Amino acid sequence: MKRIMVFGMGGVGSYLGAKLSGINDAELIFIARGAHLKAIQSKGLLYQDPEGNKTIVRPSLATDSASEAGKVDYLFICVKGYGLDAACKAVQANLKDNTVVLPLLNGADIYERVRAVISGSTVLPGGIYISSSIVEPGLVVHSAGKGNVFAGREPGDKNFDPDPLMNLFSQAGIPADWYEDPFPAIWKKFLFIAAYGLVTGMSSRTIGEVIADEDLAAKVLGIQKEIAAIAKAKGIVLEEDAAQAAFDKGKAFPPSMKTSFQRDLEVSGKEHEGDLFGGSILRMGRELGISTAVCSDVYNRILITKAGK
């Protein structure tokens, strides 16, 4: 019996939980909070896929306290960036030497942040492509993206066998890719999600509206070029046209789609991942001597607007 913990039951965690529920020899543990947790405890998690199909998932345990769960074989961390440190501290007692930890967050430095807290076990750098969110407590709608997971070898660990993890994803029907060097994939995602998130958040425009606006589109591509320059300075191998490719990727999404970061900004008083995007870009730019003027302008506008609310 595989013991699997999904820590954070928002859009990403609920997608994983729903898919993993199809594995017969898996014991699922959901770590959630608030009204969403209470709904899962009382009637299960209702997950709706992009085709409108609904699945009710009843985990072995749904709780807001990881200490109730015991040791696990797999841990998927699916919290927002601002909750990452607390999540890593909360799961220390759940980890074994051979526990596989896969954080599925949006930032470029997530692996490093997890390793700063968690020692031992195996921590895999990785990410996911999906648009999914809580519509009401207990109901999560997966609206776009195939839910592609990618993961790769941890630096310095030549002995980890990825086959059991990839088989787990295959059994669950989760499209997944394994990379011996996962960091280019992580930075390609960051090129897309950070730039579009920041500009949609600043402008309160959808992805389609941003692409159609010459000035806003230029800001997205400008931030992507700054991120690509940072990646190059850090020794991350990306294609020469990585920034343009990340910009063009936005054209494949529904024009009416809002980014997750944008939706968070629209809720007064809600925490958001601005520092994970704008803050980290500015810090890395300063450390490496890379100009981040476009990102600085966009991020500062967001901070000023939020401060005025």
pLDDT digits (tens, 9 = 90+) for 196-205: 999 999 999 9
User: What DSSP assignment string belongs to 220-289?
Assistant: HHHHHHHHHHHHHHTT----TTHHHHHHHHGGGS-TTPPPHHHHHHTSTT----HIIIIIHHHHHHHHHT
pLDDT of residue 269: 78
Q: Where in the chain is the domain with CATH 3.40.50.720?
A: 2-181
pLDDT of residue 260: 87
Is the model's pTM score more than 0.75?
yes
What is the architecture of the domain spanning 2-181? 3-Layer(aba) Sandwich (3.40)
DSSP state of 137: T
pLDDT digits (tens, 9 = 90+) for 107-147: 999 999 999 999 999 999 999 999 899 999 999 999 888 99
> What CATH number matches the domain at 184-308, 3.40.50.80, 1.10.240.10, 1.10.1040.10, 3.40.50.2300?
1.10.1040.10
Q: Average pLDDT of 90-106? A: 97
pLDDT digits (tens, 9 = 90+) for 148-186: 999 999 999 999 999 999 999 999 999 999 999 999 999
Percentage of the chain lying above the pLDDT 90 cut? 91
Percentage of the chain lying above the pLDDT 70 cut? 99
What average pLDDT does the chain have?
Answer: 95
pLDDT digits (tens, 9 = 90+) for 216-247: 999 999 999 999 999 999 999 999 999 999 99
| Phi, psi dihedral angles at 159 (to 5 degrees) | -100, -15
Band the pLDDT of 90: cuts 50, 70, 90.
very high
pLDDT of residue 308: 65
pLDDT of residue 309: 57
Tell me which residue of 60, 117, 65, 126 sits closest to 92, measured CA to CA.
Answer: 117
Neighbours of 96 (CB within 10 A): 12
Q: Where in the chain is the domain with CATH 1.10.1040.10?
A: 184-308
pLDDT of residue 145: 84
Q: Quick check: 78 and 12 in contact, CB under 8 A? A: yes
pLDDT of residue 267: 86
- 111 three-state secondary structure: helix
CA–CA separation, 26 vs 38, rounded Å? 22
